[in-house]
């Protein structure tokens, strides 16, 4: 039986982890590779690097990080952040990423998703959907795509957008509620379910995890195939194992090898 995936996400800036892993004693908590190895050992099902490097000149450091991670961790690695061109995707895949997540470039040019999927295969194209609720209280739920870290509205309906990129060849959707991101009050379940039920590809729920119950809700109520979280793991509040045991106790299938 296919298992629910638990995916820790590391923010990487100029080749260094922004909020480093602190649940084990690492020689260098700022080294993404050391953090990746720690999560590999802890039983994470996949790993996600989100590159938040501001300048394009420093992108080269990310390639080294991805390459060293792929040498040390034999688990799937998704890398996103600042991916704009087919060349960016090629470079990340050649460095050792298994999947590349694209965001703004897909919003600006939907056909980029099709070209990327045709070039590299659906299996490695993840489209990041950053959505915010725009409907008024009392009216039917509606979410829009926001770019620039949730600051810039686009007017694009999030559910329609998700369906569109799925049709164009996205292999997976990384869905982040920009309302919930960083709040620790749980995923936007209505958003997650609206999108997961509207597309035939897997959806990763992201944004707002503050407890293990939130992960259960993301899968059980939000119909996500995977849950992504950052600080809840990095700061040792919970281990990957605890997350999986919680999911299992709620009747959801997990991998504990």
* Residues found near another protein in the complex (CB under 8 A): 1-5, 40, 45, 67, 70-72, 74-76, 93-98, 118, 120-124, 171-172, 200-202, 225-226, 255, 257
| 141 in active site | no
Q: For residues 18 and 70, which CB has a smaller minimum distance to another protein in the complex?
A: 70
Q: What angle do CA 205, 3, 117 make, to 5 degrees?
A: 60
Catalytic residue among 11, 31, 51, 88: 11
User: What is d(CA 256, CA 3) in angstroms, rounded to the nearest whole number?
Assistant: 10
Q: For residues 97 and 103, which CB has a smaller minimum distance to another protein in the complex?
A: 97
Closest distance between another protein and the C-beta of residue 146, in Å?
25
Give the Cβ contact number of residue 65 at 10 Å: 23
Q: How many CA atoms lie within 13 A of 31 on its CB side?
A: 11
User: What is d(CA 53, CA 62) in angstroms, rounded to the nearest whole number?
Assistant: 9
- Residue 143 CA: distances (Å) to CA of 4, 67, 133, 209, 237: 25, 36, 4, 19, 31
| 11 in active site | yes
Closest distance between another protein and the C-beta of residue 120, in Å?
6
Closest distance between another protein and the C-beta of residue 203, in Å?
8
Q: For residues 26 and 75, which CB has a smaller minimum distance to another protein in the complex?
A: 75
Q: How far apart are the first and last CA of the chain?
A: 14
Q: For residues 171 and 210, which CB has a smaller minimum distance to another protein in the complex?
A: 171
Catalytic residue among 51, 88, 130, 188: 130
Question: Going by C-beta distance under 8 Å and a sequence separation of 6 or more, which residues neighbour residue 66?
Answer: 49, 77, 79, 92, 95, 96, 97
Closest distance between another protein and the C-beta of residue 28, in Å?
21
Active site residues: 11, 130
């Amino acid at each position: 039986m296919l298992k629910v995936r638990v995916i820790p996400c590391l923010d990487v800036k100029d080749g260094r982890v922004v909020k480093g892993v602190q649940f084990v004693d690492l020689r260098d908590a700022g080294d993404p590779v050391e953090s990746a190895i720690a999560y590999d050992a802890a039983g994470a099902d996949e790993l996600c690097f989100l590159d938040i490097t501001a300048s394009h000149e420093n992108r080269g450091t990310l390639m080294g990080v991805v390459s060293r991670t792929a040498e040390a961790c034999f688990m799937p690695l998704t890398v996103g952040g600042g991916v704009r061109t087919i060349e960016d995707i090629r470079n990340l895949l050649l460095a050792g990423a298994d999947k590349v997540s694209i965001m703004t470039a897909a919003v600006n040019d939907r056909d980029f998703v099709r070209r990327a999927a045709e070039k590299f295969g659906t299996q490695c194209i993840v489209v990041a959907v950053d959505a915010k609720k725009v409907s008024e209280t009392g009216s039917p739920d509606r979410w829009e795509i926001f770019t620039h870290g949730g600051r810039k509205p686009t007017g694009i309906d999030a559910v329609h957008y998700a369906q569109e990129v799925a049709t164009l060849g996205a292999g997976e959707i990384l869905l982040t509620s920009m309302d919930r991101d960083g709040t620790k009050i749980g995923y936007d379940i209505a958003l997650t379910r609206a999108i997961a039920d509207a597309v035939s590809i897997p959806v990763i729920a992201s944004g707002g995890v503050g407890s293990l119950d939130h992960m259960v809700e993301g899968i059980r109520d939000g119909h996500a195939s995977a849950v992504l979280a950052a600080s809840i793991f990095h700061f040792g509040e919970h281990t990957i194992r605890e997350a999986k045991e919680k999911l299992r106790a709620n009747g959801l299938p997990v991998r504990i090898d």
